């Protein structure tokens, strides 16, 4: 795995964003220099409070949280609180953090950080409005970014808020299009093609509760709403946790594989928010993205369960074998 990398996490917590933060904050490969929130799953101020709750849980309130943009670039804002609950954490109503609060102006923080340390990496887990606004100010700020990874879009899988669109791109399609058109470094796109293969099942949740009762109780509390939503609308037993996969790939690049392509995003009409991947080079445009299509599900769960729940072998391997996540050995 990689040496420690400075990273800004731009997110909209959100149930799966919160799980992604827990993975990132428990991983020594990542030095999280700041968390910026954007309107997406929940309004910006709710997302900021949820980020603080995750920081408080792992005793990292020293990491600053910044309030970002509270509306998309052009379209009206539509939250995903029907999916994540009014509080963004499955209506779990976790205690508010009062010891510290979020700071203002995420866009300025990102710009200042990239000015001071141009190689700082970006993990974008929500709509791309904050990132787009930084690009509008000065695209050159991103020229030396070590790595830019986002969770969003879809290549061959269907959408999750329209037949063709993933929510982060659909929420602010103009920002997504701008980022793909203007980002001067390759974009690693972790889309629904791979994240839909990462399902937190009732059995995995039971395992977490067994080995780490405190963490298990928290994850159960915030995902119960998510479980119900996934069964009602997608007939999935458990819940897809999209954003932790992007963090995992950031930590261990071998977890995901794909191909390079030119990609853009539709901004209006019935295809609003669709990620258009020119896999067959029709447009003869320079490749601007890495589209992830294959995921090592076992490697993901090994990483997530070890870091977030403290799982250890031999029990971890036995459980993954029982659940069919890892192959059984003779």
- Would the CA dihedral through 64, 65, 69, 70 be positive or negative? negative
User: What's the pTM value of the predicted model, to 2 decimals?
Assistant: 0.96
CA 147 to chain centre: 15
Q: What is the mean pLDDT of the segment spanning 96-112?
A: 96
Is 71 part of a structural domain of the chain? yes
Is 222 part of a structural domain of the chain? no
CA 145 to chain centre: 18
Is 192 part of a structural domain of the chain? yes
3 state SS of 7: strand
Is 324 part of a structural domain of the chain? no
Q: What is the mean pLDDT of the segment spanning 178-193?
A: 97
Is 55 part of a structural domain of the chain? yes
Q: What is the mean pLDDT of the segment spanning 36-40?
A: 98
Express each pLDDT in 239-285 by its tens digit: 999 999 999 999 999 999 999 999 999 999 999 999 999 999 999 99
Q: What is the SS3 assignment for 11-34? A: ECCCHHHHHHHHHHHCCCCEEEEE
Q: What is the mean pLDDT of the segment spanning 183-197?
A: 97
Q: Which CATH number is 85's domain given?
A: 3.90.245.10
Is 266 part of a structural domain of the chain? yes
d(CA 258, CA 279): 11
Q: Report the number of distinct structural domains present in the chain.
A: 1
Cβ atoms of 238 and 230 closer than 8 Å: yes
Residue 102 structural domain? 5-199+240-296
Give the per-residue pLDDT at 330. 52
pLDDT of residue 1 exceeding 70, the answer is no
Is 53 part of a structural domain of the chain? yes
d(CA 182, CA 296): 31
Is 137 part of a structural domain of the chain? yes
| Residues, the chain | 330
């Amino acid at each position: 795995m990689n040496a420690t990398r400075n990273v800004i996490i731009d997110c909209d917590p959100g149930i799966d964003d919160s799980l992604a933060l827990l993975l990132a904050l428990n991983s020594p490969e990542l030095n999280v220099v700041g968390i910026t929130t954007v309107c997406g799953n929940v309004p910006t101020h709710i997302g900021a409070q949820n980020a603080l709750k995750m920081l408080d849980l792992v005793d990292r309130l020293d990491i600053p949280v910044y309030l970002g943009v509270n509306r998309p670039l052009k379209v009206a804002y539509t939250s995903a609180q029907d999916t994540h609950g009014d509080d963004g954490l499955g209506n779990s109503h976790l205690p508010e953090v009062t010891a510290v609060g979020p700071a203002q102006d995420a866009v300025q923080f990102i710009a200042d950080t990239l000015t001071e340390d141009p190689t700082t990496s970006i993990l974008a887990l929500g709509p791309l409005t904050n990132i787009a606004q930084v690009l509008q100010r000065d695209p050159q700020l991103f020229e030396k970014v070590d790595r830019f990874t986002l969770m969003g879009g879809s290549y061959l899988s269907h959408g999750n808020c329209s037949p063709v669109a993933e929510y982060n791109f659909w929420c602010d399609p103009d920002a997504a299009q701008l980022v793909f058109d203007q980002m001067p470094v390759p974009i690693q796109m972790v889309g629904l093609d791979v994240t839909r293969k990462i399902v937190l099942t009732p059995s995995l949740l039971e395992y977490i509760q067994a080995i780490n009762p405190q963490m298990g109780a928290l994850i159960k509390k915030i995902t119960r709403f998510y479980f119900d939503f996934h069964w009602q609308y997608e007939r999935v037993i458990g819940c897809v946790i999209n954003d932790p996969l992007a963090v995992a790939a950031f930590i261990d690049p071998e977890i995901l594989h794909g191909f390079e392509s030119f990609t853009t995003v539709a901004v209006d009409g019935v295809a609003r928010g669709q990620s258009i991947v020119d896999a067959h080079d029709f447009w003869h445009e320079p490749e601007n993205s890495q589209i992830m299509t294959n995921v090592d599900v076992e490697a993901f769960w090994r990483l997530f369960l070890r870091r977030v729940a403290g799982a250890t072998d031999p029990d971890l391997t036995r459980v993954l074998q029982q659940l069919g996540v890892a192959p059984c050995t003779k």
